[in-house]
Amino acid sequence: MAPESRTDHAPLLDEDFLRKLDLLEIVFKRNILGRRVGDRPGLQRGGRAEFADFREYSPGDELRYLDWNVYARTDRLFIKEFTKEEAALVCLVLDASASMGVGSPSKLRQAKRLAAALAYLAVAGGNEAQFAAATDRRVLWSSPQAGRPDLGATAAFLEPLGPAGPTDLAAALAEVRERLSRRSLVILISDLLDPGEPRKGLRLLGSQRYDLTILHVLSPGELHPPAIGPARLTDIESGAGTDVVVDEATLRLYASALNDFCEGWLAFCQRHDIRYVQTSSAAPFEECVLETLRRGGLVR
Protein backbone atom coordinates (compact mmCIF):
# COMPACT_ATOMS: atom_id res chain seq x y z
CA MET A 1 0.00 0.00 0.00
CA ALA A 2 1.37 3.40 -0.96
CA PRO A 3 1.70 5.84 1.96
CA GLU A 4 -0.47 8.95 1.94
CA SER A 5 1.08 12.33 2.64
CA ARG A 6 0.31 14.57 5.62
CA THR A 7 -1.90 16.70 3.34
CA ASP A 8 -4.15 13.67 2.92
CA HIS A 9 -5.64 14.02 6.41
CA ALA A 10 -7.45 17.37 6.27
CA PRO A 11 -11.28 17.26 6.33
CA LEU A 12 -12.85 16.19 3.05
CA LEU A 13 -15.20 19.20 3.01
CA ASP A 14 -15.31 22.22 5.29
CA GLU A 15 -18.24 24.48 6.21
CA ASP A 16 -17.09 27.43 4.08
CA PHE A 17 -16.84 25.25 0.99
CA LEU A 18 -20.23 23.64 1.65
CA ARG A 19 -21.84 27.08 1.44
CA LYS A 20 -20.30 27.47 -2.01
CA LEU A 21 -21.47 24.00 -3.03
CA ASP A 22 -25.02 25.00 -2.15
CA LEU A 23 -24.94 27.36 -5.14
CA LEU A 24 -24.18 24.53 -7.59
CA GLU A 25 -26.01 21.56 -9.06
CA ILE A 26 -25.01 18.49 -11.05
CA VAL A 27 -25.79 18.54 -14.77
CA PHE A 28 -27.23 15.37 -16.33
CA LYS A 29 -26.29 14.92 -19.99
CA ARG A 30 -28.60 12.03 -20.77
CA ASN A 31 -32.24 11.52 -19.92
CA ILE A 32 -31.89 8.95 -17.15
CA LEU A 33 -34.92 10.18 -15.20
CA GLY A 34 -38.38 8.72 -15.43
CA ARG A 35 -41.56 10.76 -14.98
CA ARG A 36 -44.71 9.54 -13.25
CA VAL A 37 -48.04 11.34 -13.25
CA GLY A 38 -50.38 11.27 -10.26
CA ASP A 39 -47.83 10.96 -7.46
CA ARG A 40 -48.46 13.10 -4.41
CA PRO A 41 -45.71 15.26 -2.91
CA GLY A 42 -43.94 13.58 -0.04
CA LEU A 43 -44.71 9.98 -0.97
CA GLN A 44 -41.23 9.35 -2.36
CA ARG A 45 -37.74 10.21 -1.22
CA GLY A 46 -35.85 12.42 -3.63
CA GLY A 47 -36.91 13.96 -6.91
CA ARG A 48 -39.12 16.97 -7.43
CA ALA A 49 -42.89 17.31 -7.65
CA GLU A 50 -44.43 19.79 -10.10
CA PHE A 51 -48.07 20.58 -10.75
CA ALA A 52 -49.29 18.77 -13.88
CA ASP A 53 -53.07 18.97 -14.23
CA PHE A 54 -56.51 18.70 -12.63
CA ARG A 55 -58.92 15.80 -12.72
CA GLU A 56 -62.41 15.43 -11.34
CA TYR A 57 -62.74 14.18 -7.78
CA SER A 58 -63.51 10.48 -7.31
CA PRO A 59 -64.65 8.87 -4.04
CA GLY A 60 -61.58 7.77 -2.10
CA ASP A 61 -59.33 10.65 -3.28
CA GLU A 62 -57.54 12.49 -0.49
CA LEU A 63 -59.41 15.67 0.34
CA ARG A 64 -56.21 17.61 1.01
CA TYR A 65 -55.54 17.65 -2.75
CA LEU A 66 -58.87 19.28 -3.58
CA ASP A 67 -58.52 22.66 -5.25
CA TRP A 68 -60.97 24.88 -3.39
CA ASN A 69 -60.36 27.86 -5.66
CA VAL A 70 -61.59 25.87 -8.65
CA TYR A 71 -64.57 24.65 -6.59
CA ALA A 72 -65.49 28.25 -5.73
CA ARG A 73 -65.51 29.20 -9.41
CA THR A 74 -67.18 26.10 -10.87
CA ASP A 75 -69.04 24.45 -7.98
CA ARG A 76 -67.27 21.21 -9.00
CA LEU A 77 -64.63 19.22 -7.15
CA PHE A 78 -61.23 18.81 -8.78
CA ILE A 79 -58.09 17.08 -7.53
CA LYS A 80 -54.60 18.45 -8.19
CA GLU A 81 -52.22 16.03 -9.92
CA PHE A 82 -48.48 16.27 -9.92
CA THR A 83 -45.68 15.01 -12.09
CA LYS A 84 -43.04 13.43 -9.91
CA GLU A 85 -39.51 13.38 -11.24
CA GLU A 86 -37.83 10.25 -9.97
CA ALA A 87 -34.57 10.66 -8.10
CA ALA A 88 -31.56 9.84 -10.24
CA LEU A 89 -28.72 7.75 -8.81
CA VAL A 90 -25.24 9.26 -9.01
CA CYS A 91 -22.71 6.43 -8.68
CA LEU A 92 -19.20 7.63 -7.85
CA VAL A 93 -16.62 5.02 -8.83
CA LEU A 94 -13.24 5.67 -7.18
CA ASP A 95 -10.05 4.07 -8.40
CA ALA A 96 -8.33 3.21 -5.11
CA SER A 97 -5.52 1.13 -6.60
CA ALA A 98 -1.89 1.55 -5.53
CA SER A 99 -1.02 4.04 -8.27
CA MET A 100 -3.58 6.47 -6.83
CA GLY A 101 -1.35 6.90 -3.74
CA VAL A 102 1.18 8.95 -5.72
CA GLY A 103 1.47 12.71 -5.23
CA SER A 104 1.17 15.24 -2.41
CA PRO A 105 -1.70 15.44 -1.83
CA SER A 106 -2.21 12.03 -3.33
CA LYS A 107 -4.42 11.41 -6.35
CA LEU A 108 -6.64 9.31 -4.12
CA ARG A 109 -7.10 12.19 -1.69
CA GLN A 110 -8.21 14.47 -4.51
CA ALA A 111 -10.51 11.70 -5.76
CA LYS A 112 -12.08 11.32 -2.31
CA ARG A 113 -12.74 15.04 -2.01
CA LEU A 114 -14.23 15.22 -5.50
CA ALA A 115 -16.44 12.23 -4.75
CA ALA A 116 -17.59 13.76 -1.44
CA ALA A 117 -18.45 17.07 -3.10
CA LEU A 118 -20.36 15.43 -5.95
CA ALA A 119 -22.26 13.15 -3.57
CA TYR A 120 -23.26 16.21 -1.55
CA LEU A 121 -24.51 17.97 -4.70
CA ALA A 122 -26.41 14.87 -5.83
CA VAL A 123 -28.30 14.42 -2.56
CA ALA A 124 -28.84 18.14 -1.97
CA GLY A 125 -30.39 18.26 -5.46
CA GLY A 126 -33.02 15.67 -4.55
CA ASN A 127 -31.20 12.68 -6.02
CA GLU A 128 -29.32 9.71 -4.55
CA ALA A 129 -25.59 9.05 -4.28
CA GLN A 130 -23.59 5.87 -3.83
CA PHE A 131 -19.84 5.19 -3.71
CA ALA A 132 -18.03 2.24 -5.28
CA ALA A 133 -14.30 1.96 -4.50
CA ALA A 134 -12.21 -0.27 -6.76
CA THR A 135 -9.34 -1.46 -4.58
CA ASP A 136 -7.10 -4.52 -4.42
CA ARG A 137 -9.13 -6.58 -6.97
CA ARG A 138 -12.50 -5.96 -5.31
CA VAL A 139 -15.19 -3.27 -5.21
CA LEU A 140 -16.37 -1.82 -1.90
CA TRP A 141 -19.88 -0.34 -1.93
CA SER A 142 -21.41 2.24 0.34
CA SER A 143 -25.09 2.40 1.21
CA PRO A 144 -27.04 4.83 -1.00
CA GLN A 145 -27.63 8.31 0.44
CA ALA A 146 -30.91 10.15 -0.14
CA GLY A 147 -33.06 12.77 1.52
CA ARG A 148 -30.32 15.02 2.88
CA PRO A 149 -26.50 14.94 2.60
CA ASP A 150 -24.89 12.77 5.26
CA LEU A 151 -21.33 14.01 5.66
CA GLY A 152 -20.69 11.57 8.49
CA ALA A 153 -21.57 8.55 6.34
CA THR A 154 -19.51 9.96 3.48
CA ALA A 155 -16.43 10.37 5.68
CA ALA A 156 -16.95 6.96 7.32
CA PHE A 157 -16.80 5.28 3.92
CA LEU A 158 -14.14 7.37 2.16
CA GLU A 159 -11.63 8.17 4.90
CA PRO A 160 -10.47 4.57 5.62
CA LEU A 161 -9.78 3.87 1.93
CA GLY A 162 -6.09 3.53 1.19
CA PRO A 163 -4.40 2.96 -2.18
CA ALA A 164 -3.87 -0.78 -2.60
CA GLY A 165 -3.49 -3.45 -5.25
CA PRO A 166 -3.48 -3.41 -9.04
CA THR A 167 -5.92 -1.45 -11.19
CA ASP A 168 -8.78 -3.43 -12.75
CA LEU A 169 -11.30 -0.86 -13.89
CA ALA A 170 -12.87 -3.25 -16.40
CA ALA A 171 -13.92 -5.62 -13.61
CA ALA A 172 -15.12 -2.72 -11.46
CA LEU A 173 -17.24 -1.28 -14.29
CA ALA A 174 -18.69 -4.72 -15.01
CA GLU A 175 -19.77 -4.97 -11.37
CA VAL A 176 -21.28 -1.49 -11.56
CA ARG A 177 -23.30 -2.56 -14.62
CA GLU A 178 -24.54 -5.71 -12.88
CA ARG A 179 -25.33 -4.07 -9.55
CA LEU A 180 -27.16 -0.90 -10.56
CA SER A 181 -30.84 -1.61 -11.05
CA ARG A 182 -31.57 1.51 -13.08
CA ARG A 183 -29.82 3.88 -15.44
CA SER A 184 -27.61 6.26 -13.51
CA LEU A 185 -24.99 8.96 -13.76
CA VAL A 186 -21.71 7.05 -13.33
CA ILE A 187 -18.67 9.19 -12.51
CA LEU A 188 -15.32 7.38 -12.72
CA ILE A 189 -12.52 9.14 -10.81
CA SER A 190 -9.18 7.58 -11.78
CA ASP A 191 -5.68 8.11 -13.11
CA LEU A 192 -6.65 5.64 -15.90
CA LEU A 193 -3.29 3.85 -15.51
CA ASP A 194 -4.82 0.47 -16.24
CA PRO A 195 -3.22 -2.12 -18.54
CA GLY A 196 -6.61 -3.83 -18.98
CA GLU A 197 -9.62 -2.80 -21.03
CA PRO A 198 -11.61 -0.18 -19.11
CA ARG A 199 -12.86 1.31 -22.38
CA LYS A 200 -14.84 -1.84 -23.09
CA GLY A 201 -16.67 -1.47 -19.77
CA LEU A 202 -17.40 2.18 -20.51
CA ARG A 203 -18.70 1.36 -23.98
CA LEU A 204 -21.07 -1.24 -22.51
CA LEU A 205 -22.39 1.20 -19.93
CA GLY A 206 -22.82 3.85 -22.61
CA SER A 207 -24.70 1.44 -24.87
CA GLN A 208 -27.18 0.88 -22.02
CA ARG A 209 -27.82 4.63 -21.77
CA TYR A 210 -25.88 5.34 -18.60
CA ASP A 211 -24.77 8.96 -18.29
CA LEU A 212 -20.96 8.74 -18.02
CA THR A 213 -18.23 11.09 -16.80
CA ILE A 214 -14.50 10.51 -16.33
CA LEU A 215 -12.52 12.68 -13.93
CA HIS A 216 -8.92 12.01 -14.89
CA VAL A 217 -6.63 12.78 -11.94
CA LEU A 218 -2.87 12.94 -12.44
CA SER A 219 -0.13 14.03 -10.03
CA PRO A 220 2.25 16.95 -10.69
CA GLY A 221 5.13 14.48 -10.96
CA GLU A 222 3.31 12.63 -13.71
CA LEU A 223 2.39 15.81 -15.54
CA HIS A 224 5.77 17.54 -15.17
CA PRO A 225 8.49 15.11 -14.00
CA PRO A 226 11.95 16.55 -13.28
CA ALA A 227 15.18 15.59 -15.04
CA ILE A 228 17.02 13.50 -12.45
CA GLY A 229 19.63 11.60 -14.45
CA PRO A 230 20.09 7.84 -14.00
CA ALA A 231 17.19 6.26 -12.14
CA ARG A 232 15.34 3.02 -11.65
CA LEU A 233 11.62 3.33 -12.33
CA THR A 234 9.40 0.85 -10.50
CA ASP A 235 5.75 0.13 -11.25
CA ILE A 236 4.04 0.72 -7.90
CA GLU A 237 1.41 -1.93 -8.64
CA SER A 238 3.35 -4.75 -10.34
CA GLY A 239 6.77 -4.15 -8.81
CA ALA A 240 8.43 -4.40 -12.24
CA GLY A 241 11.35 -2.03 -12.67
CA THR A 242 13.57 -0.67 -15.42
CA ASP A 243 16.77 1.42 -15.43
CA VAL A 244 16.57 4.67 -17.40
CA VAL A 245 18.34 7.99 -17.76
CA VAL A 246 15.81 10.75 -17.12
CA ASP A 247 17.26 13.63 -19.12
CA GLU A 248 15.73 16.34 -21.30
CA ALA A 249 15.47 14.05 -24.34
CA THR A 250 13.71 11.37 -22.27
CA LEU A 251 11.33 13.96 -20.85
CA ARG A 252 10.39 15.15 -24.35
CA LEU A 253 9.54 11.56 -25.31
CA TYR A 254 7.59 11.16 -22.07
CA ALA A 255 5.66 14.40 -22.63
CA SER A 256 4.71 13.24 -26.12
CA ALA A 257 3.56 9.84 -24.83
CA LEU A 258 1.56 11.43 -22.01
CA ASN A 259 -0.09 13.83 -24.44
CA ASP A 260 -1.00 10.94 -26.75
CA PHE A 261 -2.41 9.02 -23.76
CA CYS A 262 -4.62 11.90 -22.61
CA GLU A 263 -5.67 12.89 -26.12
CA GLY A 264 -6.57 9.27 -26.79
CA TRP A 265 -8.88 9.24 -23.80
CA LEU A 266 -10.40 12.57 -24.80
CA ALA A 267 -11.09 11.32 -28.33
CA PHE A 268 -12.60 8.10 -26.98
CA CYS A 269 -14.90 10.05 -24.67
CA GLN A 270 -15.99 12.40 -27.44
CA ARG A 271 -16.88 9.43 -29.68
CA HIS A 272 -18.97 7.80 -26.95
CA ASP A 273 -20.69 10.88 -25.47
CA ILE A 274 -18.71 10.71 -22.20
CA ARG A 275 -17.66 13.82 -20.32
CA TYR A 276 -13.88 13.94 -19.85
CA VAL A 277 -12.30 16.30 -17.32
CA GLN A 278 -8.59 16.26 -16.46
CA THR A 279 -7.16 17.72 -13.28
CA SER A 280 -4.03 17.60 -11.15
CA SER A 281 -4.05 16.23 -7.62
CA ALA A 282 -2.23 19.39 -6.56
CA ALA A 283 -4.81 21.75 -8.10
CA PRO A 284 -6.59 23.85 -5.45
CA PHE A 285 -9.67 21.83 -4.58
CA GLU A 286 -12.15 24.69 -4.69
CA GLU A 287 -10.82 25.76 -8.08
CA CYS A 288 -11.17 22.18 -9.31
CA VAL A 289 -14.86 21.97 -8.33
CA LEU A 290 -15.98 25.55 -8.90
CA GLU A 291 -14.11 26.12 -12.15
CA THR A 292 -12.72 22.94 -13.71
CA LEU A 293 -15.86 20.82 -13.22
CA ARG A 294 -18.01 23.73 -14.36
CA ARG A 295 -15.98 24.14 -17.55
CA GLY A 296 -16.26 20.40 -18.07
CA GLY A 297 -20.05 20.63 -17.93
CA LEU A 298 -20.54 18.41 -14.87
CA VAL A 299 -21.80 21.17 -12.56
CA ARG A 300 -23.36 24.59 -13.01
CATH (domain of 242) = 3.40.50.410
- CA–CA separation, 62 vs 150, rounded Å? 33
| DSSP calls for 176-187 | HHHH-SS--EEE
Q: Tell how far CA 202 is from the center of its chain.
A: 14
140 and 207 co-located in one domain: yes
Helix ranges, 180-239 (H):
198-207, 220-223
61 and 168 co-located in one domain: no
Decide if pLDDT at 4 tops 60.
no
List, edge to edge, every strand of the sheet that includes 211-218.
138-141, 128-135, 89-95, 185-190, 211-218, 275-280
Provide, for the chain, the percentages of residues in helix, strand and coil under a 3-state DSSP scheme, each rounded to the nearest 5.
Answer: 35, 25, 40
Residues 6+ apart with CB under 8 A from 152: none
Expressed as residue numbers, the domain containing 62 is: 35-85
Phi and psi angles of residue 104, each rounded to the nearest 5 degrees, phi first: -145, 100
Decide if pLDDT at 83 tops 80.
no
Mapped onto helix, strand or coil, the DSSP state of residue 110 is helix
What value does the mean pLDDT take over residues 147-151?
93
Residue 300 inside a domain? The answer is no
For the stretch 10-56, pLDDT in tens is 789 999 999 999 999 999 987 775 443 333 333 344 445 555 677 88
46 and 126 co-located in one domain: no
pTM of the model: 0.82
What value does the mean pLDDT take over residues 128-134?
97
Q: Could you tell me which residue, 28 or 64, shows the higher pLDDT?
A: 28
What value does the mean pLDDT take over residues 90-118?
97
155 and 131 co-located in one domain: yes
Mapped onto helix, strand or coil, the DSSP state of residue 288 is helix
Residue 149 inside a domain? The answer is yes
What value does the mean pLDDT take over residues 101-122?
96
Q: Where are the beta strands (DSSP E) in the chain?
A: 35-37, 48-56, 78-85, 89-95, 128-135, 138-141, 185-190, 211-218, 229-234, 241-246, 275-280
Q: 151 and 194 in contact (C-beta within 8 Å)?
A: no
Residue-level pLDDT at 33 = 59
Decide if pLDDT at 63 tops 80.
no
In the 8-state DSSP scheme, what is residue 44? S
Lowest mean pLDDT among 2-16, 119-133, 234-248: 2-16
157 and 174 co-located in one domain: yes
Residue-level pLDDT at 165 = 94
75 and 171 co-located in one domain: no
Residue-level pLDDT at 200 = 95
Decide if pLDDT at 146 tops 90.
yes
Residue 162 inside a domain? The answer is yes
Residue 120 inside a domain? The answer is yes
The confidence band for 57, taking pLDDT boundaries of 50, 70 and 90, is confident
Residue 23 inside a domain? The answer is yes
To the nearest whole percent, how much of the chain has pLDDT over 90? 64
For the stretch 156-197, pLDDT in tens is 999 999 999 999 999 999 999 999 988 899 999 999 999 889
Chain mean pLDDT for the chain:
87
72 and 198 co-located in one domain: no
